[in-house]
Amino acid sequence: MDWIFWNNSSAIPAEKEHYGEIRHQKITEIQVKGEKGALEIEASWNNSKETLLIEKTTFEFSQSGHTIIVDRSTTLTAQQDVLFKDNKEGMMGMRVTRALELPADKPEIFTDAQGNPTEVKVLNNDGVTGDYLSSMGKTGNDVWGTRGEWVRLNGQIQGEEVAVAIIDHPKNPGYPTFWHARGYGLFAANTLGQNAFDKKQQLNFKLQKGESATFQYRILVHDSTILTVDDVAGFRASFIK
């Protein structure tokens, strides 16, 4: 049976019984060494009856010039036989501020915290400056549904240059990942989904009970100057060595 670990907020009706939850269990370690820090946590992925996966995630924090570096490593260990059904919702993503969204030239539908959709026919694009660039040279909305080693999202906030980048790791399943990079601020590496983007491909990643899989990503948060392609390439090289 498939369990969904996305879109499972309290606004979802109770009859959607096949929605699982990821529950934080504990912080297992905090380290501070000079200007670097690390945080380790443990979480459980549960359905309505049992734990399917144990998650152990490490966040390592550092800084290089105007760039904050967050290295995330997540190991999932199956407590039961688990199928990650090919799907475009996951594995690592973020929501960005309105200023880093892409200017919209068509009506959009927005959903509030209670799950109520509202269509906005004309959007105010004042101060909306975001633009995607992928390692394959794709830009803007053309990045969505394409593969790449990394994607950078840049723009301006109150006149200051800012950028966020996500770098995929060659050891991740499905590398190089497809990108679920949307103009409305959803920026995600879709490691476990392929068929939604290319009907000729299917992943359906599986773990047998007791097996583990590790997913690694580097996130860059940059300000004050342009985060160049060479900059991202350098950060990627040090990440995957």
| Separation in Å, CA 45 to CA 6, 51, 54, 66, 150 | 12, 6, 6, 36, 27
Q: What is the mean pLDDT of the chain?
A: 90
| Separation in Å, CA 103 to CA 33, 107, 109, 126, 129 | 41, 11, 15, 9, 7
What are 64's strand-pairing partners? 67
**For residue 232, which amino acid is it?**
V
What are 188's strand-pairing partners? 93
Q: Do the Cβ atoms of 72 and 58 come closer than 8 Å?
A: yes
- The average pLDDT across 191-220 equals 93
Structure confidence by residue, pLDDT tens digits, 19-34: 788 999 999 999 999 9
Q: What is the largest CA-CA distance in the chain?
A: 51
End-to-end CA distance of the chain: 39
| Separation in Å, CA 182 to CA 27, 141, 211 | 32, 7, 33
Whole-number Å distance between alpha carbons of 5 and 89 = 9
Q: Beta strand 160-168 with 108-111: parallel, antiparallel or unpaired?
A: unpaired
- The average pLDDT across 118-138 equals 88
Handedness of CA 73, 230, 228, 148 (dihedral sign): negative
Both tokens assigned to 116: 């109520």
Given pLDDT bands bounded at 50, 70 and 90, which one contains residue 14? low
Given pLDDT bands bounded at 50, 70 and 90, which one contains residue 111? low
Radius of gyration of the chain (CA): 19
Question: Among all chains, which residue has been given the structure tokens 């409305």?
Answer: 184
pTM of structure: 0.90
Torsional class of 185: left (φ above 0), alpha (ψ -120 to 50), beta (otherwise): left
Given pLDDT bands bounded at 50, 70 and 90, which one contains residue 16? low
